[in-house]
Amino acid sequence: MNDSLHSMLGTAWFGLLGLILVFYVVTDGFDLGVGILSLFTPRATDRDQMVQSIGHVWDANETWLVVLGGGLFGAFPAAYATLLQDLYVPVMMLIASLIMRGAAIEFRHAAHRTRPWDLVFGVGSLLAAISQGIVLGRVITGLAPGAPDVGFTAVTAIGVVSGYCLLGATYLIKKTSGALEQAARRYTVFSVMTTVAAAILLSAGTMIFSPVGQDRWAETDVFHLLVMLAVIAILSFAYILYSVQMNSQRGPFRGAVLLFLASFAGLAVSLFPDLLPGKLTIAEAASDNSTLVFMLFGIGTILPVMIGYNLYQYHVFRGKVVPHGHGAHHGHAASGASVVQPVVVRPAHLEGHRDTH
């Protein structure tokens, strides 16, 4: 009975951490993508508009990563210790890059020359995405050494960077207008192509190099479920391209989110019941029952508040941002808030008649 309860609690925490990871990747993913795309945006006014589009949400988005790290430490300390020991460099690079991004967003408000801080913002975003890709690739391969696994991890990093660019580009479609919106549509088409190409390569590599492909994917039920998720991913890919072609404002972002959800569901199904393929199962890595139960009460209190706050802020700042000159940013560095004036997006035939809020 005790073993059964421990297994149930461990599985519950596996699902909770997976849910928190999804919240982090989708929310912080698009603002990391916006940062990466800013490196390819030559006009200062466009970069201002890009920063404005995420100025009200970027810091709250990163909160999910803090909760994820704390949950992993408390619920699965053995996995936390193993990952930190083997992935110390990419984890430290991730933390440093997030600090770079935050400092750049804050200091650019007061700087007379924003270009240096824009570069810090973009490079920090790129390094954060690369480091997360490295961690993901190493987890899928079970921290195995060797050149093939290094190559697999490199493709994973490219896939994560491309996926975040896809989220960032589709987010800019629904938050910006004019030339920047049109550029975001072009970025969307390119990034969805490279994201899907990387996903195909990674699927083939997982079958060859990862214990996941050799063991978990061989199970008939798992294989059928993965096929269903692959169909959802293909439909999401087609919908993104269709909605871009039809000049949809919100469709591309919704398609990108669905593509990520299908991908993460496939990852969770593939890993279960392991946390580290071939090294640690959920039951082996989980804390004792009393710790898991105590943490459930804590997360049960925090999670609804975080979800509610995120939904509320996205509702308040819905619509497209109104561009402002750089001079309007002065005086706002202390609060960290960008000067953003959200507007409710009207249907296409009323696009010229927006109400400001």
* Of residues 238 and 348, more confidently modeled: 238
- Answer for the pair 313, 168: CB distance below 8 angstroms, yes or no: no
pLDDT of res. 178: 87
Residue 355 falls inside a structural domain: no
Copy the structure tokens of residue 264: 């993460």
Residue 356 falls inside a structural domain: no
The 10 Å Cβ neighbour count of residue 126 is 20
The Cα 263–Cα 147 span in angstroms is 25
Cis peptide bond N-terminal to 342, omega within 30: no
Alpha-carbon torsion (161, 167, 173, 175), positive or negative: negative
Kindly report, residue by residue over 188-235, the tens digit of the pLDDT. Answer: 999 999 999 999 988 888 777 777 766 777 788 888 898 999 999 999
List, in order, residues 6 or more apart from 248 with CB less than 8 Å away: none
Dihedral Cα 186, 175, 312, 356, nearest 10 deg: -160
Beta strands (DSSP E) in the chain are 274-276, 280-281
pLDDT of res. 324: 63
Tell me the whole-structure pTM to 2 decimals.
0.85
List, in order, residues 6 or more apart from 220 with CB less than 8 Å away: none
Cis peptide bond N-terminal to 77, omega within 30: no
Q: Work out how many domains the chain is built from and give that number.
A: 1
Copy the structure tokens of residue 124: 């920090």
Helix (H) or strand (E) holding 303: helix 289-316
Range of the domain at 224: 2-350
The Cα 209–Cα 69 span in angstroms is 27
The 10 Å Cβ neighbour count of residue 262 is 20
Residue 120 falls inside a structural domain: yes
Residue 273 falls inside a structural domain: yes
Residue 357 falls inside a structural domain: no
Kindly report, residue by residue over 37-66, the tens digit of the pLDDT. Answer: 999 999 988 999 999 899 888 888 888 998
- Answer for the pair 41, 50: CB distance below 8 angstroms, yes or no: yes
